[in-house]
Amino acid sequence: MSQQFEDGTTLDRFIFETTKAHREAQGTLATLLRQIALAGRLVSSRVNRAGLAGMLGATGETNVQGEFVQKLDIYANDAFKRALEHVGVCCAVVSEEDDQPFLIPERFHSGRYIVCIDPLDGSSNIDVNATIGTIFGIFRRKTPEGTTATKDDYLRSGRDMVASGYIIYGSGTVLALSTGEGVYCFTLDPLVGEFFLSHSDLRLNDKANTYSVNEGYAAKWNPKLRTYIEGIKDSDENWKARYIGSLVADFHRNLLKGGIFLYPGTIDNPQGKLRLLYEAFPLAFLVEAAGGRASNGTQDILDLLPTDHHQRTPLFIGNKENVSDIERALSKE
């Protein structure tokens, strides 16, 4: 059962109350979440001042995914790692921006949790002032505290996550969080420097009629998906299309208003573009906590077992009947 919280409850109090039931987590998971919120506030402030602080544009480098690295990507990646490394509750940060997982340096305690993170999702939108965000998922390690984290700690089923969330930097800064029971959103008051509860226990209806996909690639999709999308457009159900090109922003809108987000495989990239550990897993954990579903077309995202920390996956995520409709469409003979 989700707990009841009044609007205006601070994130700090929410974390205290929700981790209270798990005494072993109260100090550690609570500290971890507070540090993520701290780094989120730093990134939010930098995003708001990007044009003034010389933070727009690319660094001239490409990352491990072959994508252009933006200055804010680097700032955000460093902010989260610095916030997490010294507090003794984290043993590794698996980041989109780093080739290898960042293992907590020996001078600090190698703590209980692994954080998988896309520090700045949708970064191609930075220069045009569209919404971008941070996505994170948290696992509890399998190996003993105080030792170096290994692959066994982070290459594992999404069902093992203990919490996940995202922070969007848009017209306001909003942090969404789930520890498995409900999804709660907190809006940053920049004058006070604190996140306050603004959306309690979000629930998705079973079905919606908004879809978010980059239809520019339709010619390269599985023809069954093309037929499905053509079918909903031809129907009398008044479907709407909404696509920003920031997964985190498209997901947030669909979580509040209902809708399905699709990033399918294409002929050129059968596994699509999105990454399993730090994009699909955290959002799948949130969507299930809100009563929705996430699938790769045949299987629940959370049941997948990664073999590589930068592994990609097709993603269909949103209201549960919509996801099931797509799975059915893809499985037709």
We find the least distance from the C-beta atom of residue 217 to Mg ion, in angstroms, to be 17
Q: Retrieve residue 218's tokens.
A: 């339709």
For ligand AHM, the closer of residues 67 and 194 by Cβ is 67
Q: Does 214 bind ligand AHM (CB under 6 A)?
A: yes
Q: Does 58 bind ligand AHM (CB under 6 A)?
A: no
Residue 291: Cβ within 10 Å count: 15
Q: Does 245 bind ligand AHM (CB under 6 A)?
A: yes
CA atoms in the 13 A half-sphere facing the CB of 2 = 19
Stretch that binds ligand AHM, among 21-29, 53-61, 116-124, 222-230 (CB under 6 A): 116-124
For residue 196, with 0-12 CB atoms within 10 Å meaning exposed, 13-18 middle and 19 or more buried, which class applies? middle
Which CA distances in Å does 127 have to 40, 49, 123, 172, 183? 19, 12, 8, 17, 30
Range 140-162 burial, b when 16+ CB lie within 10 A, else e: bbeeeeeeebeeebbbbebebbb
- Identify whether the C-beta of residue 90 lies closer than 8 Å to the C-beta of residue 149: no
Side chain identity at residue 227, one-letter code: T
Total of residues contacting ligand AHM (CB under 6 A): 12
Q: Does 118 bind ligand AHM (CB under 6 A)?
A: yes
For Mg ion, the closer of residues 85 and 97 by Cβ is 97
Task: Please list every residue from 120 through 179 that binds ligand AHM, using CB under 6 A.
Answer: 121-123
Q: Retrieve residue 83's tokens.
A: 């916030």
Task: Please list every residue from 75 through 134 that binds Mg ion, using CB under 5 A.
Answer: 118, 121
Site string for ligand AHM, 92-111 (x = CB under 6 A): ----x---------------
d(CA 116, CA 289) in angstroms, rounded, equals 19
For Mg ion, the closer of residues 120 and 202 by Cβ is 120
Q: Does 273 bind ligand AHM (CB under 6 A)?
A: yes
Site residues, Mg ion (CB under 5 A): 118, 121
Residues in touch with ligand AHM (CB under 6 A): 67, 96, 118, 121-123, 214, 245-247, 263, 273
